[in-house]
Amino acid sequence: MRRAELFTAVVFALLSGYLMWKSAELPVGWIPDKGPAGGAFPFWLSAAMLACSAWIFVRALRGATPESRTHGPFMDGPTVKLLAMAGGSLLVALILITWLGFYVAIPFLFVFWVRLVGRRSWMTTGILAVTVPVLTFFFFEIGMRILLPKGITEPLFYPLYQTFF
């Protein structure tokens, strides 16, 4: 926990530095009679963030926060596994969305969680994996006219578009 606390402060300091450099692509000074230039707002906020990260780092070194006094691991084994599963499933879902579209990614999420993690019956899994995408299609695409990305499965939807639009 203590190491994570110190590490996060360093990451924020580096991020602040990067943000300052990035903001400086625009003038960051003061235009007389007009106030701050375009990049000034993010630049000085990032500078303040850098100061804040230093403050957090010093407090952590001195053990001023409860987190910096805890020496146990930031996450234990089972938690890491659980979260890797959650994060991993979302990552796979996002890649699926880009490549094969939402209507492959949604059933994937249900099969993964309901069947593989939750160990529910194929029946429950199937019902959810079919009804949710169908509802999504009708609500977003037909109701709100927002076309969701379908990747290379797009041609499969042409008949549906022809029926409903």
Partner 1 sequence: MDTLVHLAGGFATAFEPLNFGLLVLGCTVGLFVGALPGLGSVNGVAILLPITFFVPPTGAIIFLAAIYYGAMFGGAISSIMLGIPGASTAVATTFDGRPMAMKGEAHRALVAAAVASFVGGTIAVILFTLFAPPLAEFALRFGPAENFALMVVAFATFVGLSGDDIPKTILSILFGLILSAVGLDIISGQPRLIFFDLPGFYKGISFIVLAIGIYGIGEILWTLDSSKGRVEIAQHKIGFRNIVQAIIELRKTWRTMGLCSLLGYFVGILPAAGATPGSLMAYGMAKSMSKNSKNYGKGEINGVVAPEAANNAASTGSMLPMLTLGIPGSPTTAILLGGMIIWGLEPGPMLFITHEGFVWGLIASLYTANLFTLLINLAFIPLFIWVLRTPFAILAPVIFVLSLVGGYAPGSSLHDVWLILIFGIAGYLLRKLNYPMAPAVLAIVLGPLAEKYFRQAMIISHGDVMTFVERPLSAVFVAMAAVLVCMPIYSALKRRRAAAG
- Interface pick for partner 1 out of 3, 61, 104, 148 (rule CB under 8 A): 148
- Interface pick for partner 1 out of 3, 14, 41, 73 (rule CB under 8 A): 41
Shortest approach of partner 1 to residue 156 CB, angstroms? 19
Helix, coil or strand: residue 76: coil
Helix, coil or strand: residue 36: strand
Query: Which residues in the 56-115 window bind partner 1 by CB under 8 A?
Result: 56, 59, 65-67, 74-75, 78-79, 82-83, 86-87, 89-91, 93-94, 97-98, 102, 105-106, 109-110, 112-114
Q: Count residues contacting partner 1 (CB under 8 A)?
A: 73
Q: Which of 2, 92, 100 is nearest to 56 (CA)?
A: 2
10 is an interface residue for partner 1 by CB under 8 A: no
Q: Which residues of 107-117 are buried (b: 16+ CB within 10 A; e: fewer)?
A: bbbbbbbbbee
Question: CA-to-CA distance for 127 and 135, rounded, in angstroms?
Answer: 12
